[in-house]
């Protein structure tokens, strides 16, 4: 029986991958810093991901896959290198945020420097920021480089974008779900509604890891859904799952980022679309249902900040319905009805 150790195994990605591996007949050990409810038949160990000695003892010499869902910087990479000396393969989750445009701009600095204008589609050879300690993306690149040059076993780096799936602390879908639950019949969308911010389901990540273990991916692979849906298409996909209808209204173009009105978590002034070595078989609309069902059954208006702290940390009120009403009175709005 093949064995996997998942660092960060109780989070959104870790649980999805663990469930996928269990279905394939793997033995799975999930590591986390605190106790958490896990999938059936999964072993759980409470350990800090940076405790190299304990991590090495857990991985041992019979682990086929050492997966890190929480690797953040060069220090994390060094822990994985040491612990995974005898592992069959190390897989680390990075991010498509490492890509920069020709002016060196990334998602990290978009609020201060303007949103990057990428040459599309972004592929694994597209330019990235230099490694360093300054931003989220520079730390991710430092982690990638350390693993790729220092590990004694094969390494796969996965770069997803705008991840969706149950158990997410950053479930962007809540922006639409809550409005629909609150009975909002008309929903304004910035940038006329066609913004495209590449999406990736957790099931796509799980499938990519199986491909990596089979030797079917390059050392660095983007992971994406089969499509790159516009914000209006995301809204309609969520409506279809919930069985609720609302009219989507595109707002006039604006040069500001983030936009003052109709700003969804996917609203960007220029597209971010990935060409992925690990392209999923399913589109966003085909894979988003588990996320929406989890949100509807688990999250509500009173607890959403507790369940979705990363979404709550945005520097704006996602649910300022007076601003929605103000937006709908603007001249130049356009219905996005099919």
Q: pLDDT tens digits for the chain (338 residues)?
A: 999 999 999 999 999 999 999 999 999 999 998 766 566 788 999 999 999 999 999 999 999 999 999 999 999 999 999 999 999 999 999 999 999 999 999 999 998 889 999 999 999 999 999 999 999 999 999 999 999 999 999 999 999 999 999 999 999 999 999 999 999 999 999 999 999 999 999 999 999 999 999 999 999 999 999 999 999 999 999 999 999 999 999 999 888 899 999 999 999 999 999 999 999 999 999 999 999 999 999 999 999 999 999 999 999 999 999 999 999 999 999 999 86
Q: What region, left, alpha or beta, does residue 7 occupy, with left being phi > 0 and alpha being psi -120 to 50 degrees?
A: beta
- What are the φ and ψ backbone dihedral angles of 291, each rounded to 5 degrees? -65, -50
pLDDT given at position 60: 93
CA 13 to each of CA 99, 174, 205, 338: distance values in angstroms, whole numbers, following the listed order = 21, 18, 8, 34
Domain 94-335, what fold? Rossmann fold (3.40.50)
pLDDT at site 300:
97
Q: What is the pLDDT of residue 79?
A: 97
- Report pLDDT for 36: 63
Phi-psi region of 259 (alpha: psi -120 to 50; beta: other; left: phi over 0): beta
Tally of residues, the chain:
338
CA pair distance 209, 227, nearest whole angstrom: 20
CA-based torsion, 29, 33, 39, 43: positive or negative: positive
Residue 190: DSSP 8-state: G
Q: Do residues 291 and 200 lie in contact, with contact meaning Cβ atoms separated by under 8 Å?
A: no
Buried b (16+ CB within 10 A) or exposed e, 187-205: bbbbbbbebbbbbbbbbbb
Alpha-carbon gap, residue 90 to 84, rounded angstroms: 7
3 Cβ neighbours under 8 A, 6+ residues apart:
26, 27, 28, 29, 62, 63, 64, 65
Structure tokens at 260: 């003052």
What pLDDT sits at residue 39?
66
For the entire predicted model, the pTM comes to 0.96
Q: How far apart are CA 196 and CA 216, in angstroms?
A: 28
Bridge partners (DSSP) of residue 224 are: 279
- Report pLDDT digits (tens) over 277-289: 999 999 999 999 9
């Amino acid at each position: 029986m093949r064995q996997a150790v998942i660092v960060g195994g109780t989070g959104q990605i870790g649980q999805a991958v663990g469930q996928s591996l269990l279905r394939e007949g793997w033995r799975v050990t999930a590591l986390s810093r605190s106790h958490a409810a896990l999938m059936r038949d999964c072993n759980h160990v409470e350990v800090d991901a940076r405790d190299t000695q304990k991590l090495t003892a857990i991985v041992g010499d019979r682990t086929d896959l050492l997966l890190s869902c929480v690797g953040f910087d060069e220090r994390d990479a060094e822990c994985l290198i040491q612990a995974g000396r005898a592992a069959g393969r190390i897989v680390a989750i990075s991010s498509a945020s490492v890509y920069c445009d020709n002016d060196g701009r990334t998602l990290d600095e978009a609020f201060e420097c303007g949103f990057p204008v990428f040459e599309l589609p972004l592929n694994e050879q597209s330019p990235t920021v230099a490694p360093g300690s300054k931003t989220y993306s520079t730390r991710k690149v430092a982690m990638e480089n350390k693993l790729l040059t220092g590990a004694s076993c094969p390494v796969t780096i996965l770069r997803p974008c705008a991840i969706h799936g149950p158990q997410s602390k950053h479930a962007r879908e809540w922006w639409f779900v809550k409005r629909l639950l609150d009975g909002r019949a008309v929903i304004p969308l910035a940038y006329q509604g066609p913004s495209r911010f590449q999406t990736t389901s957790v099931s796509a990540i799980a499938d990519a890891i199986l491909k990596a273990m089979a030797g079917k991916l390059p050392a660095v692979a983007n992971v994406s859904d089969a499509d790159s849906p516009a914000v209006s298409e995301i809204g309609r996909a969520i409506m279809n799952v919930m069985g609720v209808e609302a009219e989507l209204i595109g707002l006039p173009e604006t040069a500001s980022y983030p936009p003052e009105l109709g700003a969804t978590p996917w609203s960007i002034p220029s597209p971010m679309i990935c060409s992925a070595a690990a392209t999923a078989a399913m589109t966003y609309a085909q894979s988003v249902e588990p996320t929406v069902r989890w949100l509807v059954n688990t999250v509500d208006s009173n607890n959403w900040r507790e369940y979705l702290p990363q979404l709550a940390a945005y520097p704006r009120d996602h649910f300022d319905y007076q601003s929605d009403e103000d937006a709908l009175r603007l001249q130049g709005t356009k219905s996005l009805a099919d």
